[in-house]
Amino acid sequence: MKRRGEKFGWIGGWFGAFAWLGLLSAIWLFQNKISEGMIGLVVFIIAIIAISMTAPWKHPNTKYWKLMLPIYSLFICSIVLYIYLSGGLEIIGLKWTSIFLVIPGFIPLVTAGNRTWNSSAKQDNSPNKDSQRGSK
């Protein structure tokens, strides 16, 4: 399996971005907040499916920003859903300016957005590339 690290990074990173929603949904279900818990679980499951369906190795010539956009959309929806189901920003101890804390999460859209899976393979910027050539 080539490029295992990149595949693990895509799946693990995005799963980590939504893990809080799955855990929070389970807590809501245990608190007998059935509708909140079920809505959260549905969004969590849709996110996991989207992560799998938009994997860059399944669409090697598609730019990353196109693959990340549906997942980012679900991420924003899950944050808005949490705020709404919790009763608003003030109830959870946040202010409207807290929205700016989410902005750094969008850095990958800028840094990797125009790359594709195939263009990443062609670059081969591995740090061991030069040392492997010297040993031959």
- Report pLDDT for 101: 85
pTM across the whole model: 0.77
Using a 10 angstrom Cβ sphere, with 0-12 exposed, 13-18 middle and 19 or more buried, the burial of residue 10 is: buried
- Report pLDDT for 34: 92
Residue ranges of the chain with per-residue pLDDT less than 50: 131-132, 136
- Report pLDDT for 71: 93
* Model pLDDT for residues 80-96, shown as the tens digit of each residue: 888 888 888 888 888 88
